[in-house]
Structure 1
């Protein structure tokens, strides 16, 4: 008799467990809280071609300040070489001078003209964004990892006024 009661109780527990796990499917909430995920503060600089009659690679670099005080860097280029990864470096000094690398950004995809790994390169230093206007630097875009020909370049910070900012 006790054996039958144990079997009945076990069956009831399993049945109750199966019915309690059945829940209504909820749709995901795809919106963000007000102000969440919004980038409002930015500075944009021109990246000009070093060979306008040749490959004519040009574009912009945009520095964004996020809600965590980090700097997000976005590079957008036109006329890149499909199939190549174009290294992008922020170099100390004005265009044509300086050899010290300040920031090595992700490569720019020759297929899309955008940073290859992610839309934004993240600089975690919370003081970087506010230091950009006084920064003595420029950006170089190279042909490939194996060819250090500079295809596009542009002054940044103290060496150029942003073409757009807010």
Structure 2
């Protein structure tokens, strides 16, 4: 009998906890810690298709300055090839001329058109964002990790005017 009563008490507690948690509506927490959570300084450039195979990959690269003086890079592309990983690099010089890699960014996932491992690639050089306007470089997107065909490219820094800044 004692075991029966003990089981009923446990079931009552578990059921009561489930019902009270299920009925309680929590509002989303929309605030962040002081100084965090807002990226308000950015510079954006266009990435245009160069693909001779006609896939018409294009999009935008955005550089954000963080409160820690790091630079976050976000690339958003359209018409990427589902199932492929498209390497993204920052190369020296204007599009079509430079072949020296300045920064190897993450791969772009062909299924989403964005970085495969995270929404942003982090450049920890604290001077990068402030020197972006003087940088002689471009961004190139390659067909795949096994193919060095450039499917899209976009000048940055001294080689192009940003399409948007804040």
Deviates more, 1:80-89 or 1:43-52: 43-52
- Assess if the C-alpha contact under 8 Å between 2:51 and 2:150 holds in 1: no
Question: Which residue is equivalent to 1:128?
Answer: 128
Q: Which residue of 1 aligns with 2:147?
A: 147
> Equivalences for 1:31-50 in 2 at 5 Å?
31-50=31-50
CA distance in structure 2 between the partners assigned to 1:148 and 1:50 by the alignment: 13
Secondary structure, in 3 states, of the residue corresponding to 1:36?
A: coil
Structure 1 position 75 matched with structure 2 position 62: no
For residues 23-38 of structure 1, what are the structure 2 equivalents within 5 Å?
30=29, 31-38=31-38
Task: Name the TM-score, length of structure 1 as normaliser.
Answer: 0.80
Give 1:36 shift.
1.7
Q: CA deviation at 1:28?
A: 10
Instruction: Name the CA distance, whole Å, in 2 between partners of 1:147 and 1:51.
Output: 12
5+ residue gaps, structure 2: 1-20
Structure 1: runs of 5+ lacking an equivalent: 1-24
Structure 1 residue 156: Cα displacement: 0.4
Residue of structure 2 equivalent to 1:58: 58
Note the aligned Cα RMSD (angstroms): 1.8
After the TM superposition, which parts of structure 1 deviate over 6 Å for at least 4 consecutive aligned residues?
none
Helix, strand or coil: the match of 1:130?
Answer: helix
C-alpha contact (below 8 Å) 2:52/2:151 kept by paired residues: no
Identify if the C-alpha distance between structure 1 residues 53 and 85 changes in structure 2 by more than 3 Å, giving closer, same or farther. Answer: closer
Shift of 1:99: 1.1
| Aligned partner of residue 151 in structure 1, secondary structure | strand
